[in-house]
């Protein structure tokens, strides 16, 4: 198996390098991982995602605190109902109040679970969309550079094969144009198509069952 892998890599590299030696191929390398990390939009997107996560966590904690408070109120009513000094009418009223609060708690629990699942999905999808948008912009810049420099082949220095082997085992520094790509990405005044808008939070079902106000938020 190792011999086959070695032969396969030799076959892949031999032809282009031989052709390059004859001056018929112009090869370039790009470190996509570094370009991704050093693009200012990546840092902005990460900050927005993290801010949205913090906002979602705060709302989740607020809803959970309200839920715990409602549980305490039910427990207090149960203790009052154990008193022998209560009249029948008072016990009936307290029992009704307790049952209403229990129903409210069930609604709150359902809303908390729905909020968590919806928000997690929103944040995951938004992070994925932002990453895809950033990669698309980087790829467009790379393609522009490839055309300008009239390159025949470009390899990603940060890429790995399915076997965990670096796609580029070695390359001269003169082949690398990562700095040019990063500079083009961060050029002042360059128009970006990246959408960094975050989705709004799911609305509360009703004031009675959601005493906590609704909030809003939004991976590489």
Query: How much is the average pLDDT of 14-36?
Result: 72
Residue-wise pLDDT tens digits, 148-164: 989 999 988 888 878 78
Confidence of residue 169 (pLDDT cuts 50, 70, 90): confident
* Beta partners for residue 155, in sequence order: 29
Least confident of 33-37, 105-109, 153-157, 211-215: 211-215
pLDDT at 40: 92
The answer, yes or no, to whether residue 190 has pLDDT greater than 90, is no
Query: How much is the average pLDDT of 155-181?
Result: 84
- Token pair 């890599």: residue: 9
What sign has the CA pseudo-torsion 103, 104, 107, 112? Answer: negative
Q: Is 126 exposed, middle or buried (0-12, 13-18, 19+ CB in 10 A)?
A: buried
Residue-wise pLDDT tens digits, 36-83: 999 999 999 999 999 999 999 999 999 999 999 999 999 998 888 888
């Amino acid at each position: 198996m190792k011999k086959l892998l070695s032969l396969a890599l030799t076959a892949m590299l031999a032809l282009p390098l031989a052709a390059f030696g004859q001056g018929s191929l112009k090869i370039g390398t790009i470190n996509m991982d570094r370009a991704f990390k050093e693009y200012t939009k990546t840092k902005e997107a990460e900050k927005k995602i993290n801010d949205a996560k913090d906002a979602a966590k705060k709302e989740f904690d607020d809803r959970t605190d309200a839920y715990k408070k409602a549980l305490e109120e039910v427990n207090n009513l149960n203790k009052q109902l154990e008193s022998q000094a209560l009249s029948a009418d008072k016990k009936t009223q307290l029992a009704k109040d307790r049952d209403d609060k229990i129903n409210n708690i069930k609604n709150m629990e359902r809303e908390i679970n729905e909020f968590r699942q919806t928000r997690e999905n929103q944040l995951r999808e938004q992070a994925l969309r932002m990453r895809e948008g950033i990669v698309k912009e980087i790829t467009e810049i790379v393609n522009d550079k490839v055309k300008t420099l009239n390159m025949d082949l470009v390899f990603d220095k940060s890429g790995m094969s399915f076997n965990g082997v670096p796609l580029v085992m070695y390359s001269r520094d003169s082949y690398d144009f990562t700095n040019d790509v990063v500079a083009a990405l961060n050029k002042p005044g360059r128009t970006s198509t990246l959408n960094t808008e975050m989705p709004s939070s799911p609305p509360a079902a009703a004031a009675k069952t959601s005493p906590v106000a609704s909030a809003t938020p939004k991976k590489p």
